[in-house]
Structure formats: C-alpha cells, structure tokens
Structure 1
Amino acid sequence: MVKNVRTYSSRVKTGCITCRRRRIKCDEAKPSCQRCTAGKRPCEGYAPQVKPAAAMRMIVYTATATASPSTPSYPVADPERNAFQFFLAQSRACFPVEFSRAILQAAQADRAFTHAIVCFGAAQQIYEFEDDPDARARLGKLAMIQYGKALHLLQSPTSAPSSTETLLLCCVLFACYEGLRGCRRSAVVHIKSGLDLLRQCGAQTRWALLSREAMIALFTRLDNQVVELLGTSMYETLCEKKPTERAFAPRPLTVELSTPAASSRSSSESRAPMSIDTRLNHIFHRHLDMAEAMQALPDLPPAPKDESTPTSPTPLPPDDPQGQFPSDDMDAELLHIWHIVAHMCVAMAPGTAPEEAWDEFFPEFETIVSLAERYLRRSRPSGQKRRFGFNIGVIPALYMAGVRCREPQIRRRAIRLLAEYPRREIMWDSTVTAEVCRRVMEIEEGTVTCRGMESWERSSDDILESGYEGSGIKLVTRVRNVNAVLDDDGGARFEFQS
C-alpha cells in the first residue's frame, strides 16, 4: 500500500499584492500584471523588495599591553567611523563648545563615550538627512547597537567604575539621542537621573572635563525642557505617584545647587550677568509651583480686579554667575524672542490672571513670530531636511503664540512656521507642536479641519467674512491648559482643558 505523500514547496512572494491576496499565480508583468488586467481588476503593484539583514556581529575590543593611555579609542570599522566623523563635522556644532570638547576629550580614554558619540552621530544623520528606508534602517540599527554598548560599559561590574562626571555627560548625550529618535519619555528618564545625580554631588566631586558651573548650565537647559513641556503632568509621564512635596525639581536648579563657596565669590564675579537659561529656570519653576498649588485648591471664583491697586510683576531673581556658557553665543533674534517670553511669563501669574489677559500681548506675539520667521529662514542649511538643536530654540515660543495668541493671522503664522521648518530641540518636536496648536485653534474656533494646511490657511478677507471682527476672534471656548503625557512608544497624549 502506497501512502499519499504531501510535498511542500516554498511560497512565492514576488507577485503583485492583488494576486498574492487572492492566492493565485502572478505573471509579474510591470507595471501591472496581465492577470489583473485581463480580469479588469486594479493591480495594486508590487511590494518593495527588502534586502535580508546582514548577520549581527559583535566586535570585542581588548586593550593590549603596548597600548598607550592616551591612544584614542576611536572606531576603526567603516560604519562606526563614518558616524563618528559625522559627529565631528555636524553634531558637535549643535552643543555648547565646552560640552563637545569634553566628550571628545573623554573619548580618548573611555570607550563608553566613543559608543555614545557614534550612536548620536548615526541618529542625527537619520533625522536630518536620510529619507531612504534602507539607509534609515541600517543607521538605526547601528545607533541602537552603539547605544547598548555604551550602556553596558557604564553598568558593567567588570569594568572600572565610571566617574560622576562621566555619567552626567553620558546622561546629556543619551537624553538627546532618545529625543532625536522620538522616545521622549526615555529622554525624561535620563534627564531625571542626571538631575538626581547632580544634586548628590558634594564638594569632593572632581570636575576634570567640565567645570561645575558648565555642568549645571547643561542640566539647567534640560530641566527647563522638562518643566516647560510637561508641567504638572511630569509625574504621570514618569509613572510616579505625585509626592506631597515636589521631589523632581523642587527649586530652580542654580538655587538648589548653590553653595557657600559659590556665594563667597569675588565682587567682580558676582556682578556677571545671569544666563537666559537660568532666568527662565526661575520663571518656569515659579509657574510650576503656582500651578501645583492651584491644583490642590478647590475651584474658586476669580478675584475681582481692583483698579486702584494695580498689580506689578514679580521681579526676576538677582544676577547670578552660575549657569553660563561663555562661548555659547546665542543668536540675537533668539535672545530677543526669549527676552519677550520671559517678561510675558513674569507678567502672567498662573491661576490669578484671567485667560483673556493674554490678548493684551498681541504686539509681543507678532514680534516673536516675525523674529522666529527670520531666524528659521536664515538658519536652515541647504540640503538639510530637518534640524536638531540643543541650544535654546524657537519651538516653545512659537507654541506659546499658537496656543495663547487668539489673533487669527498671528496664530496661523506661528503654526505654519512650526510645520514648514521641521526641527527637534531636545524633546520639543515642531511637527507635533504644530498639530497641538492646530487642535487648540480648532477647539476655540469651533471648526473641524482636515490635517492638510490648506484647510485653515485663509486670507484676512476670508477670516473677516467667517465671523471674525477686526483683529479679534469670536471664540466658541478657550483652551486654558494643555497637558502632555509621554509614553514608552515614542508617542504623547495631550489633554485639552477648557
């Protein structure tokens, strides 16, 4: 008796999408197969051919007896070397000079820095220049492998313990890498770890690569990012229970880390101007303190405005020489933008001033948008599709204009700039920010628009004919607060409170 023997054959995966779905043989004619044409069915074309991924290989670096301690640990394989060269040519210009010099100096002796530099160089190359899927996949894999190697060296029990300075510098680079690839919650975790570690540094901490003041300036900028982006929702993002006393950033960083030694500096040093980041850190923390205090109180009617006793804005803190990057020269237009933002924030006390009080700042918002427009047009290099920056940028200021300014033309100009000049400034993403501002505009104006820009780009005549009066706007409602909660998948949830 002969048994039936079932034969197996490999399934053909090169036919058109239509024939493969119908499970019939395809003649693979281009651009449309003959089977679909004869059957009068639309041929959906052919799926792109994916090249098989090369087998992963691990390179083990071992120190030789003849190696000199000053021998650079720079990569020798082509992909790693190319990413390292990209960092030298492009990436280091995005950071303060002191930080770039410090990590390049450290890479000569510590391979963890080399892996971190290669990781960031590959990630920035993907974001700023690459749209080809194969190139993005190749560079993305390289960045992830280098990221894992850097973390392994820093945490390995067999390697020499990393210094506090090494861990802090790596925290900065890791946070920027996670922000570049869109995993902003992971970036917040790195920033929080660095802030906690920096607060634990005592007088015995040795600062060989970067001065203590410069390190504080780095984390002041990162702290500003977290506070201004997340606000009171930072604990939800970190999946932590909100403590009765705020533990994540209890005080402005430079105030919390001030020491008697710092206060006893010479009079010439004490008269040094405070950096813009330090001023903003004080303002953002004051607003966060007030916002958390208001959340703890029951809803109360707004206090009547007493015209006889006009309120005066809280003055900025006195000048403090901490938090400075002497060679971190800011663009004049950016300085002007943030000077306006700082004084607007000082004048607006959260929870005490009515939301309509933002309408008094139409001239300031228009100046901010005009300055940002000039800056963005001038700062985009040719051939660069997107841009990453560590320095204080324009996205938060344009976000404020898009959310708080109810003058229709100014608001639309701000959203258009965010959409037309894609960039990431550590955790701020201009494309996501444009979508949030657009949603706020739709809620307040009572309109539902498409995702395309054309649906809301109207001329001033169209705006006047559709229910606007003069430079004002007939609002259906007002969005008083936007909360962002970041997740592990690189996304974000936004809550609009009206």
Structure 2
Amino acid sequence: MDGMKNKNTKTGNQAWRRKPRKFASKSRLGCKTCKIRRVKCDLSRPSCFKCLSTGRTCDGYSEVPLAFKTEETDIESTHCHKEIVNRADNCDNYYPCTTVSACDSERWHPKYHGLILQNLGSLMILPVTGSTQAELMRFFKDISIKHLNQYRPCEPWRKILMFFSQTVPSVRHAAIALALIHRTYLDRHSNNQAYQSPFLKDRLPDKAPLLHYNHAIQLLLNPEVGDSAVTTAVTLLVCYLFTCFDHLAGDNVQAVKHLRGGVALSCNIDNATLNNCTYDDAQSSGVHAIICQVTKQIRRLDMQAVMFLVDWTPANIQETFMSHLALFDSTFRSLDQAADHLQVLVAQVMRLRNTDQQTSPTGTMPPLPSSHKDIVLGQLQMWLSLFENLLQQGNPSELDFATDPLVPLLRLQHTIAWILLSGYGPGREMEYDNFLSQFQQCVVLAGEVAAAHQRYSGSSRSTFTPEIGFIPVLYIIGVKCRHPIVRRGVLSILRQQPIREAAWDSIYTARVIERVIEIEEGTAREEQMVQCMEQIPVWQRIEALSFTHIPRGQSAARLDITYTFCAREGIHIESLMIEHRESNHVK
C-alpha cells in the first residue's frame, strides 16, 4: 500500500509534466531577437513587426538568408469543408511539405510599397513549390487576372490580387484553384492550342483544382492570429476568387453562396467610406485601401447578380440608390463613376421587372408601380445627360473616349434598361415592336463591344469574367425584338466567340434564342423565316422566359427552359441538349 501511495504521489507530483510548455520550433529565418526569445518571427523587414509591437528592439536578421521546410499535418476535419462548400472530396496527404523562403522579400516588397503600409502587418513572399505551381501562378498573373475585370480594368485591384496570392497561403491556394479551372475551361472550349500544356495535362490530377480549393478553406478555418482588418481583406479576397471558381466550374449555386458570404462581410463597411476611398487619396492607404477595393468588387458583383437571378436583392439597394441620387451633379468625374451610377439604375430596373415576373409567372402581370417606375425613368434620362456632358468635356486622366470600349457598353446597357422600363405597358409584348430603331442601335453597339472584347483577348478563343457585360443584353434583344434580321444579328455576335460572364454563357444563350425563334416563327429553316415583326401574332409570342444550365460531364450539357405565352395560360417546360462539339465550335 505504501508503495502504491508513493507511486500515486510521484505521479501526482509529475502531473504538470504531462502538458509541457509548447515552444515554437527553432526559426532559421527569424530575426535575432525572436531566435533568442524562441518565438515565431513574422519575418518583416527591415524590422520584425512582432518585436516592434511588443516594444522591443529588433536586432535584425542573419546575413545569409536560409530556407526551411515545415511538415504540414493532414487535413482531418473534412466535415467542415462539407458544411461550407458542400464538397465530399478530401485533401488528405496531398501537400507533404511547403518550402518557405524569405530571400526575395526585401527585393519584392519595394515594388508594391503602396500596398504595404503601417496597418497591413507583416507578410512574406511565398515561393511556389515546383514547376507546376510556378506555371499556374504565371497563368493566374498573365491570363486570369487580366480577364477578371476586363470591362472595367483596375490596375490597383490587379496588384492587390497578385500581392495577396504571393504572400497569403489561403489566397495562394484559391488563386491556383482558379487558374487550374480557368485553364481547363480554355482548353476545353478553344479550337487552337494556345493554352494547351502537356506538362499540366499529364501530371495534374482531375481533383487538383478542388484540392487547392479545399486547402484554401482549411487555411481560412484556422487563421493565424493577426490584424482583424487583414483577416477581413483576406476573407473577402477568397470569397471573390471562390465565386469566380464556381462560376467557371458551372456550379452557379455555390458561386452565389460565396457571393452572399462576401456581401454579408462587406456590409460592415460604410458606404460613404467606400465612395471616398480611392488610390489617388493619400489617406486611403494600406489595408484600408485594400478592403475598399475588394469590397467594391464584391458589391459590384452583388449589384450585377440581378441580371441572372430573379429573386436576388442587392445589399442595401435602396440606400445605395438614394445615395447615388444625392451625388448627381453637373457631370460625372470619370467613366468609372458613370458606370457605378448606371449599375445601380439597371439593378433597379431589373428588380422591378423580376418582382412582377416572380409574383405572376403565368402572364397576368400587373402594371409596374408608376411612382417608382417614373423615378427610375427620370434618373435614366438624367444619367444620359450627364454621360453626354462627360464625353463632350473629356477628362485628361481618362483614356480617349472615342476608343474606350466602356463607352459603347454603357450606352448599350442604358438603352436596354430604358426599353425594358418604357415598353412595359398594356400592349405587353407587342409594345416592343415600337422600339425597333433602338434595338437596331443596340446590335451595332454590341458589335463594337464584341470587337473590343476580341481585341482584348487577342483572338476568338473563349474568355471568362465574373462581371456582367453584354451577353444578357443580347439575350433580351433576341427574345424581345421579333425582327428577323435583328435576331440573326444577335446570334451572329453570340456565336463569334465563346464568352462566359458569371452565369451567362454566349453559346448557351444563343441556343435559347434559336429555340425562341423556332417557337415564335414556327420554323427553324432560314429560307422560311418571317419577313417582319407583325407576322408573329400576340398569342404566339413568348412573354416570360427563364432557363437553367445543367452540366452533364464531358459529352453534353442540358438547358432546361421554362416559358409562358402572351394571352395563353399554362407554363411550358423543355430541355435542350448542348453537344460538346457545339460548345467547342464557334459558327
């Protein structure tokens, strides 16, 4: 008994040893002060931020920069991935190790000194692991970033994307996942071999994009302790990249979930702050400017989502609408400001239209509220006046308005918004016949935008952007204007180049318009097409129309379309099969 008691006493006295204090592993790259303190150094240069934040003097770094390897643990909480992204795939044992080097951080940081200011915290350059990741990061830099906001290019935004993909692991993996899925999309839809890479095609597994996707989520779920503002910026960036990824992967539902998450996080940021935050302002620097930029991109996608979601309501749409009304003055300061104003007005028009179609899908739609309708129509007219003043006066800081592709795109979007709101009256679908000249003008403008788009991409190969441009506008023209020549002109533009804008795909949109022509004109043969709009009676005209893209692997895709006729009851549902060769071939 005494022996047992002594044993228990000895065990109790040593209980504190069961959980020894955890020291950080020895840092071969850290500053001298952190090495002595045996704490993890954040590797900021020229002085360690961890030392400065605790009031210590940083003794600097060793003369010879070293590299070290850290073994990463297997990803065990797969159920967390399922809850967030509804993915069943696992990432276990995919990343055996990561090589981290701070050799190039001093040489690289000065290039982006405008982005790394007092509040941004300590970041180091993460080198790629192997030639595959190096090629993917080059692809992300040279191709993906270029197209993500091609309708409204913003160099500071592109620098932010590249900077964080170079310095933050979660953003790095999200960027690589997007580059992989983007490259697969281009390879699948392009007739030429410009983007074909035997190295990538032979060595990358089919699950590679999703593995990086899930790993980015894992890193977000277990963030390192740091500045909350930086964490917010990183989370918003990953939400943005995931939205792009899922649109490209054809999972628009998941893309919308990521967009909702980003919008919810961005709602904590004041609208006035966003409106006043520009990179020309010396006060808008560091992490504050970064959050402003990424929030603007998220809010823009949020506002544009009404172009493909009937039940979508942008965050704070009414407050944004009223604040934009208050900002109207003698002229716009830039094309970008004019585009922001128009985007809010287009969202208001689509909400008015979508609300009525949602509440009454069988063709018995009540008239729009005259008060709100008249206000938006007045603002559309005011916008056009201010826009013309901007073009006449010019702006030294802007590109030449005569060659800027944003000018015809804004004219195109404004004209269609005005037609949609003006043409909704007691005559229903027949009233659209009164806007033939405007529809014809829109086809010309769309041709200019398509030509600029083709010049920007360098050829007729497929492109992707999460922003809404002119595909939904062409869709509206194709289903609302019954003039045969105008409709064929729309099809010609859509078939020139495979383009995907968020959930909109030019090839699938063209197929839906072709089906509408078949139904309304009663024939698919060109030689028997109708000669004028009046030949299509009201009872044969499609009024409410929607379609859903259903991916079907590599062989074919399916489009489920739902539509109603004017003056006829009943909802009609059809399925259109899109063969793989059709989506690859541009007529």
1:429 & 1:164 partners in 2: Cα distance?
32
Partner of 2:210: 144
SS of structure 1 residue aligned to 2:174: helix
Q: Which residues of structure 1 form unaligned runs of 5+? A: 1-54, 235-245, 305-310, 450-455
Task: State whether structure 2 residue 320 is matched by structure 1 residue 254.
Answer: yes
SS of structure 1 residue aligned to 2:207: helix
Amino acid at match of 2:469: G
Identity over aligned pairs, percent: 23
Q: 1:282-328 CA distances to partner (integer Å, 9 max, x unpaired)?
A: 33234424542575479897899xxxxxx89721277799xxxx879
Q: Which residues of structure 2 form unaligned runs of 5+? A: 1-91, 106-121, 191-195, 275-284, 368-373, 388-396, 566-587
Partner of 2:109: none
Q: Which has the higher helix share?
A: 2
Amino acid at match of 1:419: R
Contact 2:547 2:562 in 1 (8 A): yes
Partner of 2:67: none
1:208 & 1:164 partners in 2: Cα distance?
10
Partner of 1:433: 509
Task: State whether structure 2 residue 536 is matched by structure 1 residue 474.
Answer: yes
Partner of 1:7: none
TM-score between both structures, scaled by the size of structure 1 = 0.67
1:298 & 1:434 partners in 2: Cα distance?
23
Task: State whether structure 2 residue 94 is matched by structure 1 residue 57.
Answer: yes
Q: Which has the higher contact order (CA 8 A, sep 6+)?
A: 1
Task: State whether structure 2 residue 140 is matched by structure 1 residue 73.
Answer: no
Partner of 1:86: 139
SS of structure 1 residue aligned to 2:145: helix
SS of structure 2 residue aligned to 1:106: helix
CA distance 1:105–1:335, shift in 2 (3 Å): same
Return the match for 1:182 from 244, 250, 253: 250
CA distance 1:139–1:301, shift in 2 (3 Å): closer
Partner of 2:171: 113
Contact 1:395 1:429 in 2 (8 A): yes
1:67 & 1:396 partners in 2: Cα distance?
45
Partner of 1:191: 259
Range with greater deviation from structure 2 (381-390 or 170-179): 381-390
SS of structure 1 residue aligned to 2:434: helix
Return the match for 1:359 from 433, 438, 455: 433
Return the match for 2:236 from 158, 168, 172: 168
CA distance 1:267–1:228, shift in 2 (3 Å): closer
Partner of 1:368: 442
2:243 & 2:126 partners in 1: Cα distance?
23
Contact 1:87 1:118 in 2 (8 A): yes
TM-score between both structures, scaled by the size of structure 2 = 0.58
CA distance 1:133–1:75, shift in 2 (3 Å): closer
1:79 & 1:88 partners in 2: Cα distance?
14
Contact 1:337 1:368 in 2 (8 A): yes
Contact 2:361 2:564 in 1 (8 A): no
Task: State whether structure 2 residue 351 is matched by structure 1 residue 314.
Answer: no
Partner of 1:337: 412
Alpha-carbon offset, residue 249 of structure 1: 4.3
Partner of 2:564: 497
Alpha-carbon offset, residue 73 of structure 1: 1.3
Query: What is the RMSD of the two structures over their aligned residues, measured on CA atoms?
Result: 4.3
Q: 1:386-408 CA distances to partner (integer Å, 9 max, x unpaired)?
A: 11234542211211111111001
Contact 2:346 2:414 in 1 (8 A): no
Contact 1:123 1:143 in 2 (8 A): yes
Partner of 1:19: none
Amino acid at match of 1:109: T
Amino acid at match of 2:304: Q
Return the match for 2:423 from 342, 345, 348: 348
Q: 1:300-359 CA distances to partner (integer Å, 9 max, x unpaired)?
A: 97899xxxxxx89721277799xxxx879644332332232233234234x766221111
Q: 1:128-156 CA distances to partner (integer Å, 9 max, x unpaired)?
A: 24567986683753322221221221122
What does residue range 241-320 of structure 1 map to in structure 2 within 5 Å?
Answer: 249=315, 251=317, 254-255=320-321, 274-289=337-352, 291-292=354-355, 295-296=358-359, 314-316=377-379
Task: State whether structure 2 residue 295 is matched by structure 1 residue 229.
Answer: no
CA distance 1:129–1:56, shift in 2 (3 Å): farther
Contact 1:403 1:437 in 2 (8 A): yes
Contact 2:405 2:449 in 1 (8 A): no
Partner of 1:14: none
1:149 & 1:168 partners in 2: Cα distance?
16
